[in-house]
Amino acid sequence: MKIVVGIGNPGKRYAGTRHNVGYRVIEKLAETLDATGARERFGALVQEALADGEKILLVRPLTYVNLSGTAVRRAVDWFRCRVDDLIVICDDMNLPLAGVRVRRSGGTGGHNGLQSIVDHLGTTEFSRIRIGIGSPGPHIDGAEYVLGKFREDSEPFIAQACDEAARAVITWVRQGIDECMNAHNRPLGPDDAPEPGDDSER
């Protein structure tokens, strides 16, 4: 079994915000893989799917970003999942808009959701896919920025990045993290995407 976690905040208030790109990738995967309907379990919305006979658990924690690790730990413990069978998808202010970065493990980069998962699992040795949301620039608070929505002209690029991240998850399931990194790392984003720092609301 593989566990795929998309970090985000629950509720209509946060739908479409920068912090919720992880949720968007889970929704795309659920559609692509014809997953079961979502149900509440482990403090998360959970769906099940199959890819080449491999069972996949799609998880959207309902505990808000800062407490994401609670639901992840419960799911990992219930299914006795190894950490190398876990991948986490989140936003990243340190990447240019619509960049996609796949890593086998690593630090949290200041992301509170990743930090919560590290704290609950006691390790950084799980794979993650980060989606660039651009920088807020020097005059906008980071916490305010991640809870804002993308500009209309940025949306097509974010949609492409979420599609790429969903494809990366499927590659990870089928071929492992090395092939996933080789095939899907796009740390700089599309050439025609808005520049980092340009994505603040106007």
Active site residues: 19
The sign of the dihedral angle between the CA atoms of 96, 101, 106, 112 is positive
Provide the CA 136 distance to its chain's centre, in angstroms: 19
With contact defined as beta carbons under 8 Å apart, do 174 and 52 qualify? yes
CA distance 91 to 103: 14
Please tell me whether residue 47 adopts helix, strand or coil conformation: strand
98 is written with which tokens? Answer: 């619509």
User: In the β-sheet with 2-6, what is the strand arrangement from edge to edge?
Assistant: 39-41, 44-51, 54-61, 2-6, 86-92, 127-132, 100-103
134 is written with which tokens? Answer: 């651009």
With contact defined as beta carbons under 8 Å apart, do 151 and 65 qualify? no
> Which one-letter DSSP state was computed for residue 83?
G
CA distance 148 to 15: 10
52 is written with which tokens? Answer: 């080449």
